[in-house]
Amino acid sequence: MNSLKKGFKDGIPIGLGYFAVAFSLGIIAAGAGLTPFQGFLTSFLVNASAGENAAFIAIKENVPYLQMALIMVVSNIRYVLMSFALSQKINPASAMIHRFLLGFYLTDEYFALAISQDPYCDPYYSYGAFLFAVPCWASGTALGIIMGNILPARIVSALSVALFGMFLAIIIPPAKKDKAIAILIVLSFLSSYLLSRYTSISTSMITIILTIVLSGLGALLFPTKEK
């Protein structure tokens, strides 16, 4: 019960950030012709901003189902890598159903929260975070569809900044404690900017490349000493 309450509390800033970003996704979904219920159900089941954005654009452009499936795989493939790492943070004694549920709702933010738990991530901690964040994500999309393009685009864009603030709150504390983490964070920022600025590589592909390269570099140069 304590883990559930703590997860719910930690999930509040995630949910607030999700609501703002999902609202902007809802506006895109409205342009694709989705109803509020369809947008709510999509966000409730998909839980991926990049994936949903790609899906809504694909729906609007009326692309074939196979092409849409490929788009979703490319935009969300980083979660496969995250699931490998997260599997090491789940207590081996946990029932298999917990692994399925945690994998189903795996997102960047949930991964950051779960991976920071020591020594293992209690599944009920994640469930607590889901209880607040998932409804915010789904309802934000539905509300965005309802509002459509009534609000100015600048206001919607400004609301999404809350999500970046949450990311900073997650990465700054461990960076202060560990110089290796701080170096890798700086390298990730710099590399991400250079790749997005001077190449035509998609954002999802940049995430995949940097995840593999920087995590491998970190493991090679800064291995964790066994206790």
pLDDT in tens, 59-109: 887 878 887 887 788 778 778 888 888 888 888 888 888 888 888 888 888
What is the C-alpha separation between 193 and 211, in angstroms, rounded?
A: 14
Q: Whole-model pTM?
A: 0.66
Give the range of the structural domain holding residue 23, as residue numbers without chain letter: 2-169
- Of 122, 149, 169, the last residue of a domain is 169
165 and 185 inside one domain: no
Question: Cβ–Cβ contacts within 10 Å for residue 3, how many?
Answer: 16
52 and 90 inside one domain: yes
- pLDDT value of residue 203: 65
98 and 197 inside one domain: no
187 and 161 inside one domain: no
What size, in residues, is the chain?
A: 227
Retrieve residue 41's tokens.
Answer: 């159900």
- Of 149, 169, 189, the last residue of a domain is 169
CB 169 within 8 A of CB 13: yes
129 and 66 inside one domain: yes
Residues of the chain with pLDDT under 50: none
**Residues contacting residue 62 through CB under 8 Å, at least 6 positions apart:** none
- pLDDT value of residue 165: 66
